[in-house]
Structure 1
Amino acid sequence: ASGTDHGDIRVLVGRGPGGFGVSPEECPQSSLYIVALRKELPTEAFYEKGLTAFASAIPPKQEYLARIKSTNYLPNVFMAAEARQRGMDVAVTFDEDGHLGEAAIANVGIVDAEGRLCCPEGRRILPGTSMLAARKIAPQRLPVVERPIRREEIFTAREMLLFTSASLCVGISHFEGRPIGQGPDAGRPGPVARWLRDALLEHMLATGTPF
């Protein structure tokens, strides 16, 4: 439909036509939209450079809303605006106890000082397909744990990773202006980010539905 080899397919389910109130009873039937979007693939330079991130002032969504894929994107909009104002790529939420949440439309994890892929608990985030796939694939090379991640752990982590359907896995090179990682990989995407990007693409091509 888009006339291009690369793009996104978005499926939108709504409650359909009706009044302007909040009651679903106003709507006689639901709606379904399938949208094809033209989109270029990320370049090698994008993955080699990595992303910059910071702690957002926007709080994470409440637990009962965080795991629902809905049209409530206002916090995401605020986070995107915040990143632009700060001159950085990614705003990341933290809960009241200082535990890592998620980015505006992406999941975040770290490779901790012990070499484990650590992903936040699922209570206050919406687990995305790329992060869930990474948790299945990563045990081929390193342990995977789901646990609370304290903000200060980021500065001792080997790597910080961003998971999205658009870029699969890309390394976060700096957090709050400080380089992530140690040694020659400090301040640049590390080996896990580079491997997972390729492994996730291979997994997607092997398990995706041909069209």
Structure 2
Amino acid sequence: MTMRTVYVNGEYLPEDEAKISIFDRGFLMSDGVYEVTSVLGGKLIDFESHKIRLARSLSEMSMIQPAAFDDLLEIHRELVARNDIGDGLIYLQVTRGNPGDRDFHYPPADTPPTVVLFTQAKPDLVDSPLAKRGARVIAVPDMRWGRRDIKTVQLLYPSMAKMMAQQAGADDAWMVEDGYVTEGTSNNAYIVKDGRIVTRALSNDILHGITRAAVLRFAREAQMEVEERSFTLDEALNADEAFFTSASGFVTPVVEIDGEKMGDGAPGPVAKRLREIYLEESLKSAI
């Protein structure tokens, strides 16, 4: 197995030499934020939007921007080059740093944040078997905290929900609160009824997806009707088709919810067309 080069606090290191302190707030408190940027053909997809959302997450968490913030594009490109990434992902994490001991209180304001980036090669990112056959999802109660709009590293419940899906023979889970679908474990959720795309409006209840914003823009440009509102699980079960969006899944059709087939059980035309448009337009603007 080829050893990856990773980035830790200003240094490019072999992955087996990368270390952070056991007192790091990310390790002890999940006190950190992250972003995942897709790489297609060696170029970054939606990089500036991810950087803007990172700045927002840091601000909402009262975290200082790391010294490397203005160099993030260069760091991403360097990791792509050093690891020879054609299609794949770059994971970026910023934590509140190492205060030197464990304490519930935030460390002094001048404590340097911890910054970690690493790559993941994903050769089938575009030619995804899951997107071709469509995903099967189950519904689970949404039991996360109330600030889902901040992209924090508190991912225990989404991980648990993914395992619930796996144990049920499904691919993923959609979370439900007060009868309404919030989002998937790591993606935004959509249904299509009579040609109209329906997805939950932005609020603290869901992540403000970068891919979501781009897909809705492309949908409107293609004269598709979009309705941003909450939809119930019953509506989803009776929809013509469904899909989800994420930085790594792009637009992925959903063909089954809680064992009930969507339409004829195959990826629907709206989801398939939106995936084509998203990939085509995103590659044009990749950097």
The question of a shared fold, defined as TM-score above 0.5 by the shorter chain, is answered with: yes
Aligned partner of 1:79 in structure 2 is 161
CA distance in 2, matches of 1:150, 1:21: 41
TM-score normalised by structure 1 residue count: 0.88
- 8 Å contact kept, 1:60–1:101: no
Work out which of the residue numbers 184, 197, 202 in structure 2 matches 1:122. 202
Larger Rg: 2
Q: Is the 8 A contact 1:51 1:174 kept in 2?
A: yes
The answer for the alignment partner of 1:192 in structure 2 is 270
Q: Does residue 169 in structure 1 map to residue 247 in structure 2?
A: no
Partner of residue 95 from structure 2, selected from 4, 14, 29: 14
Q: Secondary structure at the match of 2:245?
A: strand
Count how many residue pairs are aligned between Structure 1 and Structure 2: 201
- Separation in structure 2 between the aligned mates of residue 17 and residue 5 of structure 1, nearest angstrom: 34
Please, what is the CA RMSD of the aligned residues? 1.6
Q: Which residue does 1:106 correspond to in 2?
A: 187
Partner SS for 1:24 = coil
Report the counterpart of residue 242 of structure 2 in structure 1: 160
Name the SS for the 1:5 alignment partner.
Answer: coil
Give the AA of the match of 1:85. Q
User: Among 115, 134, 144, which residue is 1:50 paired with?
Assistant: 134
Structure 1, gaps ≥5 residues long: none
Correspondent of 2:215 among 109, 134, 158: 134
CA distance in 1, matches of 2:93, 2:128: 31
Residue type matched to 2:97 in 1? Answer: G
CA distance in 2: counterparts of 1:6 and 1:189, whole angstroms? 23
